Structure 1
Amino acid sequence: MDQAPNLTLLWPWALLLWPLPWILHRLLPKQSRGETLRLPENATQTSNATAPTTPWARLSGQWRFALIWTLLILATGRPVLLDRLQTLPQNSRQVMLAVDISGSMNERLDHGTRLEQVQKVVGQFVMRRQYDQVGLMVFGSHAYLYVPMTLDHQLLVEQLKALKAGMAGNGTAIGDAIGLGVRALRRGQGESVLVVLSDGVNNAGQLTPAEALNIAQEAQIRTHLVVIGLETTPDLRERIEATGGQVFHANNVRSLDSIYQQIDQLEPVTQLKTIARHAPLAQYLLLLALLLSSYWLWQRRTVRPIHQHHHQHQAQAASAQAPSEPAHLRQSNE
């Protein structure tokens, strides 16, 4: 998603430093600075009359300092102009679901068939994984890639609901389903997970579950197995766990739903990371503060000699205009 540019501070805490000079001025003991040059009133008026009328010239020294200090504080806060916010996947995950649609999935499970309950629970699982790439495989006597990896989860759920038990034959080719799932996941990017659901033992296909799980382990694809209404052999469990996956057993709808919630926790959904192009502005504030400080120093160096010369000229004029002592008084004093 995109967003209009906006101005922000990366280090807003720097604004807390703004009152520091005034706090120090009040807390630190005042030092004697000696006498300063004081211009006569008419000299000041003369100087002000010829002074430039720019806004900077009309500011007092205190306000000039406050302006420069504010620029430095804002620069310390690292102001940036954020532009074009983009949301990208982080820890991307692709999930392949392999669902058994053999004839035995027509058997009852609570208030529906096994396949009907699986369609409901797995459909909810898919819709919870909003940013995951999800694919759907079906298997019976043979295994088929039914829906390739997609972010269109609504479409996948609709295809899932359209499945009928027995569409792929009455056998159970678990090994072929795992092998086909591994091959499909190898083409994708991000972490890969294969979730196989079945209600029977492997009795069809070309690959045995052990052979297929060895392939999954080599490809570093975690494989979870959900079985309905039966137990698994210790050897199959060990091979599943060797891939990093787990074996789950469901006997009713509640346990089936709990299993897919556990898989949600074991395989966290894809997270989104928001990034933005930004243009730093601190260097411009620092440059402006430097120019104003330099101009202020230059102004003080040029104005002071003029004021001092004017003061000396006034003193000489006053001395020349002073009345001289009469001659007879000088003689009497002598």
Structure 2
Amino acid sequence: MPDNFEIAYLWIFFLLPLPFIVYALFPSLRIKSASLFFPGFSNAVKYTHQKPRKSAFIKRRNFLVWLGLFVCWACLLVALSSPQIVGEPEMKVKTSRNFLIAADISFSMAQRDWTINGKQSRRWDAVKNLMHDFIKKREGDRMGLIFFGSSSYIQAPFTPDLAVVDQMLEEADVGMAGQMTHIGKAITKGVGMFKKDTIKTKVMLLLTDGVDAGTDILPLDAADLAQKDTVKIYTIGIGDPGGAGTDLDEKTLQDIAELTNGQYFRAKDEKRLAQIYTELDKLEPIAYEEEQNKPVTLLYMYPLGVAIGLLLFMMLVLTIAKVIRQLTHKKESYV
């Protein structure tokens, strides 16, 4: 018997001796029937000096019939007790955080120094290609998108519909937010999005390959605002700081991550970026919660089927036996 087998109503089995109690407490059923008149009955009473008394013929069943009926009764009780197999509680993805991706789409992201499937491609195409897979794995998060360059704008507000976020990511391209890199504006825009929402866990993923343009709000000042609003920022530096066409400011990205209790990663190629996404999945794992209802498989139909089948079999056997007796009686009468 499996460990997850349960009986819902054990008290039903207290009814098991009920037929014996009824048999013991209640009198037999009496049915009037025609009788043969015996003219010498009075003389026999006088001769034997015995007082006549009322009597009844009790039709008795054989042991096998009683045993069959008791087995049927027991099967019915088993069915009424609701035997069942109770599965483990199903795990449901829990909406536990707002996850915002702030991606740099300034002109520098058009550098063709990355590879996709062995072919030279733009940094942005490689980043976007891997980000599609990352978004699809974030089931349970409410995700949003911010793209920034000279300015920053919200591409997708927080939503649990990851397919929509993925589509909005696909529609973005280099240069849509201008040619400069304003990291401080992007962080400030993200903090504003978090403030308008009620979920307490707030995570931002900031991707850039450049250095802040240094106008308006500075990146560390924006990070301080994020820290006060309990926003954790993970930063990813795209490219090699010493490589051609890259002016990545790793120090600022490290300081932003440290100030907000996040972590800094450097992605010099597509393979490393894929590893970073895997690490992020471990750092910000998907949360699960148990369903209130457990999957239950009811088994009452099996003992009920046995009871019905046994009753039908007994009726068939008794009917056949009765027919045989009647045929035998007719043959004896003819003889």
The two structures have a TM-score, normalised by structure 2, of 0.57
**Amino acid corresponding to residue 202 of structure 2 in structure 1:** S
Q: 1:90 aligns with which of 90, 94, 112?
A: 94
Question: Mind listing any 5+ residue stretches in structure 1 that lack a counterpart?
Answer: 1-8, 19-44, 280-334
Deviates more, 1:132-141 or 1:59-68: 59-68
Aligned AA (1:182)? V
State the secondary structure of the residue aligned to 2:274. helix
1:70/1:259 CA distance change after superposition, 3 Å: same
Q: Does 1:207 align with 2:217?
A: yes
- What corresponds to 2:108 in structure 1? 104
Q: Which residues of structure 2 form unaligned runs of 5+?
A: 12-54, 115-119, 242-247, 297-335
Q: What percentage of residue pairs aligned between the two structures are identical?
A: 28
SS of 1:276's equivalent in the other structure is coil
Aligned pair 1:245/2:255, yes or no?
no
SS at match of 1:146: strand
Structure 1 window deviating more from structure 2 (87-96 vs 178-187): it is 87-96
Aligned partner of 1:150 among 156, 159, 163: 159
Residue 221 (structure 1) aligns with? 231
Shift, 1:78, TM fit: 9.2
Determine the C-alpha separation between the residues in 2 that align with 1:134 and 1:220. 17
Q: Is 2:236–2:253's contact at 8 Å kept on the other side of the alignment?
A: no
Residue 117 (structure 1) aligned with residue 150 (structure 2): no
Q: Is the Cα contact below 8 Å between 1:91 and 1:190 reproduced in 2?
A: no
What are the Cα deviations for residues 72-112 of structure 1, in whole angstroms up to 9, with x where unaligned?
A: 9x48x8999xxxx9986425232111010111111123211
Mapped pair 1:129 → 2:131: no
Q: Distance in 2 between matches of 1:47 and 1:109?
A: 106
Residues 11 and 223 of structure 1: CA distance in aligned 2, closer, same or farther (over 3 Å): same
Counterpart-to-counterpart distance in 2, 1:149 and 1:178: 15
Q: Deviations over 1:197-252 (max 9, x none)?
A: 00011114522111111122122121100111236455652441242211010111
3-state SS in 1 of match to 2:184: helix
- Residue identity matched to 2:257: I
Contact 2:235–2:253 (8 Å) recurs in 1: no
Does the Cα contact within 8 Å between 2:91 and 2:288 map onto a contact in 1?
A: no
Aligned residues: 233
RMSD across aligned positions (CA): 4.0
The 5 Å alignment of 1:1-334 reads 12=5, 74=81, 89-90=93-94, 92-110=96-114, 111-186=120-195, 187-189=197-199, 191-229=201-239, 230=241, 232-234=249-251, 236-271=253-288, 273-276=290-293
Q: After TM superposition, give the deviation of residue 11 of structure 1 in Å.
A: 6.2
Question: What is the SS of the residue equivalent to 1:154?
Answer: helix
The 3-state SS of whatever aligns with 1:248 is strand
Bigger CA drift: 112-121 or 154-163?
Answer: 154-163
Distance 1:48 1:209, change over 3 A: farther
Q: Against the structure 1 CA distance between its residues 244 and 91, is the aligned structure 2 distance closer, same or farther, given a 3 Å change threshold?
A: farther
Structure 1 residue 144 displacement after superposition: 0.8
Tell me the alpha carbon deviations over residues 2-51 of structure 1, each in whole angstroms, 9 at most, x when there is no partner. Answer: xxxxxxx9963569x99xxxxxxxxxxxxxxxxxxxxxxxxxx96956x9
Kept after mapping to 2: 8 A contact 1:109/1:253: no
CA distance in 2, matches of 1:10, 1:47: 52
Letter in 1 for 2:94: Q
Moved more, 168-177 or 151-160: 151-160
Cα distance 1:86–1:188, how it changes in 2: closer, same or farther (>3 A)?
farther
Contact 1:142 1:205 in 2 (8 A): no
Q: Which whole-Å CA distance do the structure 2 matches of 1:100 and 1:191 have between them? A: 23
